């Protein structure tokens, strides 16, 4: 019998509710219980695939692609998911199904298309009960599929948002329908510290709990996000006003390594408390493996400087899985990766700015779409190649690396049809099957796909095998005719798809380590199991650091 645990947020969004939900999941895994996660996104997009990363952070890609059928005769491919899925997969070392991301867009689409199909003939279709029934059905369907011991559903946004209210109502109904020990609710709020009076303020929390109560939801625990541990008086106040026992008021302070969060919760007894209220008979938590992982991050202190030229440099979350993959790989080798996002638009006017790339131990060219900033990214690749800085191009980054190489080798006007549709040398162009598609949501080549790796390549050295599965999200690809042409000039084709139709990876022979991959190895990288491509890139960057510091000593 699956137990349902809900995580809601109060006061502000962006305070790390996803990490709290994942860390709670980890507490159950410590006790050998099976956990699954749902992310509820109240926005009306069917999935986040059409959102700009600057608007909503990274679009995560799942391994499986889900054929979402809101009605009998309609179907959408879903593998583009909220970035919180990345947090869940990294904390829980688990592949999560795209069905577990429930958006308002999906829920409304199902109900509206079913109304047209006549499923509600004679009745008025309403938010209660039709939308709320559909939400409950989706949540229960996840529980029924794999029967996890615990199913944690995180509700995006904050309590009080208009869009979120049908979800809160559905949760209220579900809690009423299930026995008391089958559901729990944790509310995550901000507890600000006011410097001027030297005090943690609990009033915003009190207000947001009131909001939750007015939706008919009594929290079982409060997680207080703050820049420091909650003081005893703050805990007492929150306990009193929220009507939860003091042991259920949990601190979520700033920490150096995010992966420490489950251990911090464990110390405060949150895992035991949740097992008590959910009447879960679990074994004693075993923490040592996770402690080792956390320790690895704590100890990594030698700086490794990685530049990330790209276009979505305004917010940290645009490339969150890449950041995490780089940091994990570096930590594995005892280094702390210092990442610097470099906006490439200025490179287009002022090539001197490119010289700065020399200060880095590695350059990672980021994924992306469209024209803006692309020319600067191509310039950044050419410069990095000429300085032989270890270089990793991801998806768009790999396509632009190829363009840089073509330009370097006789095709000065080479470009991607995505960046310049008029280019005389479209060395990167739409995949043939993409040429007929005009619709935008869920129509790219998506999800986990086989990658066949050529022996005696850097990629083969990294993976140590010839076949892997990695995740993709693209419309364009390197045109094989041009790749063939460039082979004589020192380009290695190091991986293809299983039909040998799509170029999945290239390497630049004259460079020590310059690789471009059409896939996104960051999505399968885990804190205790770094993706081999990242590990191999970071090793090359460490080499550069070592040789350059020897050089400066001499």
CA atoms in the 13 A half-sphere facing the CB of 264? 23
Q: Which is nearer to ligand GLN, 171 or 427 (CB)?
A: 427
Taking the complex as a whole, the smallest distance from the CB of residue 493 to ligand GLN amounts, in Å, to 17
**Applying CB under 6 A, which residues contact ligand GLN?**
367-369, 395-396, 418, 473-476
509: alpha, beta or left? (left if phi > 0; alpha if psi -120 to 50):
alpha
Q: Which is nearer to ligand GLN, 219 or 368 (CB)?
A: 368
What is d(CA 142, CA 38) in angstroms, rounded to the nearest whole number? Answer: 8
- Closest by CA position to 505, among listed 525, 524, 520, 490: 520
Angle between helices 396-408 and 374-386 (to 10 degrees): 60
What is the chain's Cα-based Rg?
Answer: 25
Interior angle at CA 45, CA 43 and CA 47, nearest 5: 105
Q: Which is nearer to ligand GLN, 230 or 503 (CB)?
A: 503
Is 90 within 8 Å of 527 (Cβ atoms)?
Answer: yes
Return the structure tokens found at 240: 């009193």
Taking the complex as a whole, the smallest distance from the CB of residue 443 to ligand GLN amounts, in Å, to 11
Q: Which is nearer to ligand GLN, 206 or 443 (CB)?
A: 443
Q: Which is nearer to ligand GLN, 285 or 367 (CB)?
A: 367
Environment class of residue 501 by beta-carbon count within 10 Å: exposed (0-12), middle (13-18) or buried (19+)? exposed
What is d(CA 9, CA 20) in angstroms, rounded to the nearest whole number? Answer: 10
Q: Which is nearer to ligand GLN, 38 or 394 (CB)?
A: 394
Taking the complex as a whole, the smallest distance from the CB of residue 339 to ligand GLN amounts, in Å, to 18
Q: Which is nearer to ligand GLN, 391 or 396 (CB)?
A: 396
- Closest by CA position to 393, among listed 378, 407, 408: 378
- Closest by CA position to 71, among listed 42, 39, 112: 112
Q: Which is nearer to ligand GLN, 49 or 390 (CB)?
A: 49
Is 263 within 8 Å of 293 (Cβ atoms)?
Answer: no
CA atoms in the 13 A half-sphere facing the CB of 270? 29
For residue 463, what is the enclosing H or E element?
helix 458-463
CB-based contacts of 418: which residues, under 8 Å, 6+ apart?
369, 370, 371, 428, 430, 475, 476
Scan for tokens 């939308």, then name that residue.
131
Q: Which is nearer to ligand GLN, 138 or 474 (CB)?
A: 474
Q: Is 395 a catalytic residue?
A: yes
Q: Is 520 a catalytic residue?
A: yes
Taking the complex as a whole, the smallest distance from the CB of residue 344 to ligand GLN amounts, in Å, to 14
CA atoms 438, 105, 472, 364: torsion sign: positive
- Count CB neighbours of 256 within 10 A: 8
What is d(CA 21, CA 379) in angstroms, rounded to the nearest whole number? Answer: 41
Give the three-state DSSP class for 254: coil
Is 191 within 8 Å of 201 (Cβ atoms)?
Answer: yes
Interior angle at CA 15, CA 303 and CA 252, nearest 5: 80
What is d(CA 54, CA 147) in angstroms, rounded to the nearest whole number? Answer: 36
Interior angle at CA 347, CA 343 and CA 352, nearest 5: 125
Strand partners, 470: 449
Taking the complex as a whole, the smallest distance from the CB of residue 483 to ligand GLN amounts, in Å, to 15
Name the catalytic one among 130, 395, 408, 507: 395
Backbone φ and ψ for 490, nearest 5 degrees, come out as 105, 30
Reported residue count of the chain is 554
Q: Which is nearer to ligand GLN, 237 or 473 (CB)?
A: 473
Positions annotated as catalytic residues are 395, 520, 522
């Amino acid at each position: 019998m699956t137990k349902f645990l809900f995580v809601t947020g109060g006061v502000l969004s962006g305070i790390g509710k996803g990490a709290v939900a994942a860390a709670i999941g980890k507490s159950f895994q410590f006790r050998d219980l099976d956990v699954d996660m749902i992310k509820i996104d109240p926005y009306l997009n069917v999935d986040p695939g059409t959102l700009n990363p600057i608007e909503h952070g990274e679009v995560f890609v799942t391994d499986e692609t889900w054929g979402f059928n809101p009605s009998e005769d309609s179907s959408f491919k879903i593998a583009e998911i909220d970035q919180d899925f990345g947090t869940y997969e990294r904390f829980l070392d688990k592949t999560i199904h795209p069905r577990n991301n429930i958006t308002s867009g999906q829920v409304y689409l199902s109900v509206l298309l079913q109304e047209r199909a006549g499923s509600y003939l004679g009745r008025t279709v309403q938010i209660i009960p039709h939308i709320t029934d559909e939400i409950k059905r989706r949540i229960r369907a996840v529980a029924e599929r794999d029967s996890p011991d615990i199913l944690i559903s995180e509700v995006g946004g904050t309590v009080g948002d208009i869009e979120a209210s049908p979800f809160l109502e559905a949760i209220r109904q579900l809690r009423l329908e299930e026995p008391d020990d089958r559901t729990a609710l944790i509310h995550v709020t901000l507890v600000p510290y006011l410097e001027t009076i030297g005090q943690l303020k609990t009033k915003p929390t009190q207000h947001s709990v009131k909001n939750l109560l007015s939706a008919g939801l009594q929290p079982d625990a409060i997680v207080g996000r703050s820049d420091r541990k909650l003081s005893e008086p703050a805990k007492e106040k929150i306990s009193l006003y929220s009507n939860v026992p003091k042991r259920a008021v949990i601190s979520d302070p700033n920490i150096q390594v995010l992966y420490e969060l489950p251990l911090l919760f464990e110390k405060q007894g949150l895992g035991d408390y949740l097992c008590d209220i959910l009447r879960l008979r679990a074994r004693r938590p075993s923490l040592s493996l996770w402690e080792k992982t956390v320790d690895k991050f704590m100890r990594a202190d030698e700086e490794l400087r990685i530049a990330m030229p790209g276009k979505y440099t305004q917010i940290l979350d645009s490339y969150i899985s890449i950041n995490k993959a780089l940091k994990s790989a570096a930590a594995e080798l005892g280094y702390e990766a210092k990442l610097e996002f470099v906006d490439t638009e200025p490179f287009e006017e002022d090539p001197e700015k490119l010289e700065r790339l020399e200060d880095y131990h590695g350059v990672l060219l980021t994924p992306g779409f469209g024209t803006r900033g692309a020319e600067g990214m191509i310039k950044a690749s050419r410069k990095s190649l000429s300085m032989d800085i270890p270089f990793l191009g991801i998806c768009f980054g790999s396509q632009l690396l190829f363009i840089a190489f073509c330009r370097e080798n006789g095709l000065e006007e080479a470009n991607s049809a995505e960046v310049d549709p008029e280019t005389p040398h479209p060395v990167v162009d739409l995949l043939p099957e993409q040429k007929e598609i005009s619709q935008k949501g869920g129509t790219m080549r998506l999800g986990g796909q086989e990658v066949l790796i050529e022996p005696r390549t850097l990629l083969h050295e990294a993976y140590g095998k010839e076949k892997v599965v990695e995740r993709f999200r693209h419309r364009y690809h390197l045109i094989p005719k041009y790749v063939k042409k460039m082979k004589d000039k020192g380009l290695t084709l190091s991986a293809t798809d299983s039909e040998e139709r799509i170029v999945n990876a290239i390497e630049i022979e004259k460079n020590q380590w310059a690789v471009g991959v059409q896939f996104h190895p960051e999505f399968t990288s885990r804190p205790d199991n770094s993706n081999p491509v990242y590990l191999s890139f970071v090793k090359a960057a460490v080499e550069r650091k070592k040789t350059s510091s020897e050089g400066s000593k001499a």
